[in-house]
Amino acid sequence: MAGGGGTRLWPASTPTRPKQLLQLSERPLSTQLLAAAVERGVAWCRSERIFVVTNIALVPAVEAAAPDLPPANVIPSRRPRSTAPCVALALLHVRQRPCDRGCTEEQVAKATLTVLPADHHIA
């Protein structure tokens, strides 16, 4: 989940550069919160299986922050929503994608979805 209106850390965050796209530290290995969330996901699965739901206006910035994700895996949301609708939108997209390993419908129905908000710092 990489939505948000850019109001939580104002003036550092703005509608065009919300918290998840900020680099919150000046340490050499510091990264944007979104990139860190994608890295956590890659620890469990391939980047082709990671999806990001974001504000439609932020799609280019999200694609730049997570260049290893296929562009089709960045899901634009036309309206700001809360967590549950965001997760539902992601589920709809995941269910519509053909399984690249020949999974059965039952296997797809039993798959696990992990939700990683992109604006959380996890040390």
Q: What is the DSSP string of 80-110?
A: ---HHHHHHHHHHHHHHSPPTT---HHHHHT
Q: Can you tell me the distance from the alpha carbon of 61 to that of 70, in angstroms, rounded to the nearest whole number?
A: 14
Q: Where in the chain are the domains? A: 19-109
pLDDT of residue 25: 63
Asked if the model's pLDDT at residue 28 lies above 70, the reply is no
Asked if the model's pLDDT at residue 29 lies above 70, the reply is no
pLDDT 10s digits, 64-102: 988 989 998 899 988 777 888 888 888 888 777 656 556
Query: What would the two tokens of residue 118 be?
Result: 């992109």
pTM comes to 0.80
Is residue 51 packed enough to be buried (19+ CB in 10 Å), middle (13-18) or exposed (0-12)?
Answer: buried
